[in-house]
Amino acid sequence: MKISRVFKFLVSCFACLVAVVSSGSEIVPGMALIPAGRYTPLFRGARETNYVEVAAFLLDTVPVTNARYLEFVRANPKWRRSTVVRLFADEDYLKDWAADLEIGSTVAPDAPVTCVPWFAAKAFAAWAGRRLPFTAEWEYAAAASATRADGLNDPAFVAQIERWYTTPSAPTLASVAQSPPNIYGVYDLHGLVWEWVADFSTAMVTGDSRGDAGLDRSLFCAGGSENATDRNNFPAFMRYGLRSSLKANYTLHNLGFRCAKTIELTTPKCIP
């Protein structure tokens, strides 16, 4: 899509206007508008700016539930548990479900769907006319607390997030939207499940968090500390760590996803 510089400028003004006017309200059912802003990634190269611009976008207010995912597999037989291609989903794909088209009693229909690989999440999003959020978008939206967009500057909010990481996994996941939404009206970004992002594989953590000497630190920096913009943002370290431990066909019992949507006529600027 090719648009003129001037038009692009006008569009971003419009997006900002929308952001101001309709922040926190739904302009697509089930999705919240996340206004344009800046996101400071945990790791940046020496020659990169410390932040990335995030254009306004839409984000599902809740993670995709089992019930919603069932609709997807009904419509897409190749994503049923018994027919899925192993290359795209490991052996634990939808393992908590009773059968191909039956959620069963182990998990609740309105709990987040988990044990789904990145390939399936991506296919679901395309089927739903949406896409997966990028890391920058997800982290930017998740930085907001119930009362402020810069929630990460609030130690109480950070401590509350950290609490989930240091609490044992619940045997059965709770339903979505059981705790208060953040300032944009988005639920469950913290405290329920991990979520896939479109570019999870760019996390560039090597697995040895302290940085392999052989790697270029300015590029990779490896999850440790050398180049981290906020060394004390432990939850961010943990999310980067988890993302980098994944492969696209992996399924985890506490890893789900939600969808995003680009606002029409704008070009997402957040692609790294």
Partner 1 sequence: MVRAADSPVRGPAAKGSDPEIIGEEVAVLTHAPLVPPPIKRTHSTKVIVTLEVKEVVRRLSDGVEYLFWTFGGEVPGMFIRVREGDLVEFHLNNHPSSKMPHNIDLHAVTGPGGGAASSFTAPGHSSQFSFTALNPGLYVYHCATAPVGMHVGNGMYGLILVEPKSGFPPADKEYYVMQGEFYTTGRFGEEGQQYFDQNKALDERPTYVVFNGAVSSLVGDKAITAKVGERVRLFIGNGGPNLVSSFHVIGEIFDHVYPEGGTVATQQNVQTTVIPAGGSAIVDFKVEVPGTYVLVDHSLFRAFNKGALGMLKVTGPENLLAYSGKEVDAVYLGRQAEAGSAAEKEVASLQAQMKQAIQSDPKIVGLTKEIQIAKGKQIFMQTCFVCHQINGEGIPAQIPPLAKSDFLMQDLERSIRIVLQGRSGETVVNGKTFNGTMVPLNTLSDDEIANVLTYVRNSFGNSGDAVSLDRVRRIRSEAPAAPAAASFE
In the complex, least distance from residue 205 CB atom to partner 1, rounded to whole angstroms: 7
Please give the Cα distance from 260 to 263 (Å, whole number). 10
Residue 205 contacts residue 242 (beta carbons within 8 Å): no
The nearer residue to partner 1, 157 or 240, going by C-beta atoms, is: 240
Task: Report the residue number, 79 or 240, with the smaller CB distance to partner 1.
Answer: 240
Nearer to partner 1, 4 or 166 (CB): 166
Half-sphere exposure of 232 (CA within 13 A, CB side): 6
Q: Which residues contact partner 1 (rule: CB under 8 A)? A: 92, 159, 162-163, 165-169, 194, 205-210, 212-214, 223-224, 232, 234, 237-238, 240-242, 244-247, 250-254
CB-nearer residue toward partner 1: 62 or 115: 115
Closest to partner 1 by CB, 45 vs 241, is 241
* DSSP tag of 65: B
In the complex, minimum distance from the CB of residue 12 to partner 1, in angstroms, rounded to a whole number = 35
Between CA 144 and CA 201 the distance in angstroms is 24
| Minimum distance, C-beta of residue 194 to partner 1, in the bound complex (Å) | 8
| 57 versus 237: smaller Cβ distance to partner 1 | 237
CB of 95 to partner 1, least distance (A): 9
The answer to whether 269 and 134 are in contact (CB under 8 A) is no
Contact 70, 103 (CB under 8 A): yes
Of the candidates 40, 26, 228, 243, the one whose C-alpha atom is nearest the C-alpha of residue 149 is 40
CA–CA distance, 24 with 30 (Å, rounded to integer): 12
Please state, in angstroms and rounded to a whole number, the distance separating the CA atoms of residues 97 and 106: 7
**Least separation, in Å, of the C-beta of 88 and partner 1?**
16
Q: Which of 102, 113, 101 is nearest to 60 (CA)?
A: 113
* CB of 129 vs partner 1, minimal distance in Å: 30
